Amino acid sequence: MAFSFFGGIHPKENKWYAEKHPVYPFPEPDILVIPMSQHIGAPCAPLVKKGDPVTMGQKIGDGQGLCVPVHAPVSGKVKAVEMRPHTSGTMMMSVVIENDHLDTLCPDIKSRTLEEAQALTPEELMQIIREAGIVGMGGATFPTHVKLSSGLGKVDTIIVNVSECEPYIVADDRLCQEYPAEVVSGLQIIMKVLGLDSAHIALEDNKPAAAKALKQAMEGKDGIVLDILPSKYPQGAEKQLIYAVTGRQVPSGGLPAAVGCAVFNAGTCKAIHDAVYDGMPLIRRIVTVSGDIVMEPKNLLVAIGTSFNELLEAVGHKENPYKVLSGGPMMGAAQYDLAVPVIKGTNAVTILGQKNKYIVENARCLRCGKCIEVCPMNLMPVLIYKAMYTGDTKDVMAVDLMDCIECGCCAYTCPAGVPLVLGFRAAKQRVRDAQTAAKK
């Protein structure tokens, strides 16, 4: 490690709930809901209609521009194409599939031999990755083929992110313990596309079993370095991880490529391997289902489109949940409807009990400065908070609101209980709305 990034916190990890539980294939439900938007960019247009038969892995949605296709995770019949609840809190056009439980494979899916895969050009690999619908699986869901193409000639350092610093979540940890060879294989494909002969795999020191498995998988693979980093939240954020591994600082408003870096999630690497060698699109992912009231925490290999309700039934809970999150307790999004489906960016479903209910009525900033001490982006949350209430977008822009990564460190450490991140998200939306209105 070159440096420890500024700020950050050490919340109670609570990974012990699920970290010892191997990945278990979750039975596909009778009904699956596949949203047309599971990535940053334009939503897909449905390619099927009600009554159409579908096969497992068949493309059922696609679009132009910043977009990747979505695929049927099972075979069966299209029950509906309609608006359904989405983990983002909105309604999203979705394809509803009635599972026939035959798992009839799409005839377009064909595996490749090692020789065939190694003969593919970087351009062919990027097209395969695009057609497989692969996105950043750490939660950001940026289309992977776009990250690769935009990094050509600019990137000299590849980092595979296995930090997984959020409490409760162990999906990447279990992935690297159980599928280390596939993660390394996917990384080698990324190295070939970007024309680089070296790369880093970065994980925190609270994952010794994953580190051991990766070391074994890396034997004989020249150029790949395993970086063991001291645990610290939010080390899994791109800019913080880049600084920790390389000492390079991504400029305000800049992308990792600006400092010659590209960061990929471990799950993304595994998905790339599956697409190139097995021909399989991204139709399943590992999800940690955990929380302080969960009776049987699990790591499940889940078909995209499986509802949160199904997962809650699988693990059970001791009391009525106070909150169910898509993701972890620091950056996860609370769900208003548990009929929402697992999507490509869902790495966890976290179920929290009533003891986590912490609401301070009419909370007011004490000007203590604790939020400034922990902000990993070197921002001054107290000033952003003050600027929010002027209603002027210029005021919040002047204090670098848009650089906030919404990690929650400020809210976690605030002794007054001010819902800082909630306010910052609302302020960001006002800025985006103002920018959209200005273009019209």
Q: What is the pLDDT of residues 122-149, one digit of tens each?
A: 999 999 999 999 999 988 899 999 999 9
CATH code (residue 114): 3.40.50.11540
Asked whether residue 1 carries a pLDDT value surpassing 50, the answer given is no
Structural domains counted in the chain: 2
**Euclidean distance between CA atoms 218 and 281, whole angstroms:** 25
Q: Is the peptide bond before 234 cis (omega within 30 degrees of 0)?
A: yes
Q: What is the pLDDT of residue 361?
A: 81
* Residue 269 and residue 162 share a domain: yes
| Contact partners, residue 59, CB within 8 Å, separation at least 6 | 47, 69, 70, 71, 131, 281
The CA distances from residue 38 to 34, 131, 345, 351, in Å, are: 9, 14, 7, 22
Q: What is the pLDDT of residue 438?
A: 81
**Euclidean distance between CA atoms 317 and 294, whole angstroms:** 4
Q: Which domain holds residue 252?
A: 110-278
The single-letter DSSP state of residue 274 is: I
Asked whether residue 204 carries a pLDDT value surpassing 70, the answer given is yes
| Contact partners, residue 19, CB within 8 Å, separation at least 6 | 170, 173, 174
Asked whether residue 158 carries a pLDDT value surpassing 60, the answer given is yes
End position of a domain, from candidates 278, 312, 347: 278
* Residue 164 and residue 270 share a domain: yes
**Euclidean distance between CA atoms 7 and 404, whole angstroms:** 13
* Residue 262 and residue 156 share a domain: yes
**Euclidean distance between CA atoms 106 and 53, whole angstroms:** 11
* Residue 269 and residue 131 share a domain: yes
**Euclidean distance between CA atoms 44 and 52, whole angstroms:** 18
**Strand 284-290 to strand 261-265: parallel, antiparallel, or no bridges (unpaired)?**
unpaired
Taking Cα atoms as reference points, which of 55, 101, 62 lies closest to residue 78? Answer: 55
In a domain, 64, yes or no: no
In a domain, 82, yes or no: no
What's the whole-number average pLDDT of the chain? Answer: 94
Residue 432, amino acid: R
* Residue 274 and residue 383 share a domain: no
Taking Cα atoms as reference points, which of 308, 161, 304 lies closest to residue 245? Answer: 161
Asked whether residue 409 carries a pLDDT value surpassing 60, the answer given is yes
Are the C-beta atoms of residues 239 and 256 closer than 8 Å to each other? yes
In a domain, 115, yes or no: yes
End position of a domain, from candidates 244, 278, 312: 278
In a domain, 384, yes or no: yes
C-alpha angle 102-106-111 in degrees, rounded to nearest 5: 115
Asked whether residue 390 carries a pLDDT value surpassing 80, the answer given is no
Are the C-beta atoms of residues 264 and 161 closer than 8 Å to each other? yes
Average pLDDT (167-192) is: 98
Are the C-beta atoms of residues 168 and 14 closer than 8 Å to each other? yes
Owner of token pair 């995770």? 73
**Euclidean distance between CA atoms 52 and 37, whole angstroms:** 20
Q: What is the pLDDT of residue 2?
A: 58
The single-letter DSSP state of residue 79 is: E
End position of a domain, from candidates 247, 263, 278: 278
Are the C-beta atoms of residues 97 and 162 closer than 8 Å to each other? no
Q: What is the pLDDT of residue 364?
A: 87
In a domain, 424, yes or no: yes
Which strands sit side by side in the sheet containing 59-62, from one edge to the other?
A: 45-46, 59-62, 70-71
Q: What is the pLDDT of residue 389?
A: 79
**Polymer length of the chain:** 440
pLDDT in tens, 206-260: 999 999 999 999 998 889 999 999 999 999 999 999 999 999 999 988 899 999 9
Are the C-beta atoms of residues 315 and 288 closer than 8 Å to each other? no
Q: What is the pLDDT of residue 391?
A: 73
Average pLDDT (411-435) is: 89
Taking Cα atoms as reference points, which of 79, 133, 73, 128 lies closest to residue 106? Answer: 73
Q: 174: phi > 0 → left, psi -120 to 50 → alpha, else beta; which?
A: alpha
Phi, psi of 185 (to 5 degrees): -60, -45
In a domain, 119, yes or no: yes
The CA distances from residue 32 to 51, 73, 280, in Å, are: 15, 8, 18
Residue 146, amino acid: V
In a domain, 127, yes or no: yes
In a domain, 203, yes or no: yes
* Residue 377 and residue 263 share a domain: no
Lowest model confidence (mean pLDDT) among 345-359, 386-400, 413-427: 386-400
Are the C-beta atoms of residues 405 and 376 closer than 8 Å to each other? yes
The single-letter DSSP state of residue 187 is: H
* Residue 122 and residue 250 share a domain: yes
User: What is the pLDDT confidence band of residue 386, given thresholds at 50, 70 and 90?
Assistant: confident
Average pLDDT (310-323) is: 95
| Strand blocks (E) in 242-373 | 261-265, 284-290, 298-303, 323-326, 333-334, 348-352
Lowest model confidence (mean pLDDT) among 286-290, 350-354, 381-385: 381-385
**Euclidean distance between CA atoms 92 and 81, whole angstroms:** 10
Q: What is the pLDDT of residue 360?
A: 80
Q: What is the pLDDT of residue 140?
A: 86
* Residue 378 and residue 262 share a domain: no
**Euclidean distance between CA atoms 135 and 251, whole angstroms:** 24
**Euclidean distance between CA atoms 40 and 284, whole angstroms:** 19
